[in-house]
Amino acid sequence: MFKEQLKLNQPFVSGFLESALIPGKEKLANAYLLTGNNTIDMYFLALETARILNCSHKTENCACNNCQWIRQNRHPAVITISPIDYIHANKDGKPKTVITIDQARFLKKALSVSSQYHRVIVFTDAKEGKEYESKAEQLWGNYKDFIAPPVLENSNSERESWLPLPLSYKTFHSEPANALLKIIEEPPPRVTFFFFTKDKEDMISTIVSRSQAISLKYNPENYIEDQVFENFFGNFPPNSAAEGILYSEKLIELAKENSLTLEEAINRLERYLILQIRQASGNKEYCLRLINQVKSIQKALIELKSYVNPQAVADSLAISLASRR
């Protein structure tokens, strides 16, 4: 059903959603909370879900009107709500830096009118403008032929620099979120919500509790800074105590090079390991080892907070990681 490219990039979540979309056996949740750093894949997943739901053939390369319109992202069944999309709902019709209560109210009103389509509502942060052009080009990359940014109302011009980004507390406040709770819990027939965020912790808990959360495969290329760390952690953890000391020196160097404190660098290491754990959930032994390593990291972070000498913390962390291989 889903586009092959998407299945390759996000095998787990594609398979999961596809199995909820089997014709005659649909078992979709009211709302999905997609987590991770790959918002382009999230957007593709939401659009493919909308396409399958509104297509009569349910095939990958269908060219019916509904499929074509959804690929061009000009179909009334797909509603993208971000601080810079769906802005006609705002009193002044202008883009904002947050999702507004006006947008939430307007959406509720729009959904109260019945539709012949299965409507998919996407909540995401988004940015566009000259400074996002190169990033947009890099991230949209091979997807350009399969999906497109949402069209602007009353305009046919392409939004070359439009980028979907994860929502957080900063962009999705409790007021608009709470205005939507009832409709998320009991949506009208044939309405499905998607929320994009980096981590469950970044999203207001009332939305999390009403959604089915699915974490996407992490894309290290999305964050250049993360990539530096990922390359470094490729040789991780150290094999012996002696290597551990070398490793601790490198960690301190890397923190300096990236203008991070040692605490921040160790935090990145922790985040990297947690992502590894999420992706390796099928491999129990490997997960347990990673969990023990995370424990060592948490101990190091506590020591740093208690003003233990940073070099000593890095050394004992590296040795402890070596022993937990």
Site residues, Zn ion (CB under 5 A): 55, 57, 62, 64, 67
CB closer to Zn ion, 58 vs 200: 58
| Residues with Cβ within 8 Å of residue 29, at least 6 apart in sequence | 20, 192, 211, 212
Q: How far is residue 114 from each of residues 29, 79, 186, measured CA to CA in Å? A: 19, 15, 14
CB closer to Zn ion, 62 vs 179: 62
Report the nearest approach of Zn ion to the CB of residue 152 (Å). 25
Report the nearest approach of Zn ion to the CB of residue 67 (Å). 3
Report the nearest approach of Zn ion to the CB of residue 44 (Å). 16
CB closer to Zn ion, 59 vs 235: 59
- The conformation of residue 31, written as its DSSP 8-state character, comes to E
Q: How far is residue 223 from each of residues 5, 226, 251, 257, 283, measured CA to CA in Å? A: 21, 5, 19, 16, 26
User: Helix (H, G, I), strand (E, B), or coil: what is residue 80?
Assistant: strand
Q: Which of 77, 157, 59, 163 is nearest to 115 (CA)?
A: 77
CB closer to Zn ion, 67 vs 81: 67
Report the nearest approach of Zn ion to the CB of residue 47 (Å). 13
CB closer to Zn ion, 82 vs 192: 192
Report the nearest approach of Zn ion to the CB of residue 60 (Å). 10
CA 131 centroid distance within chain? 21
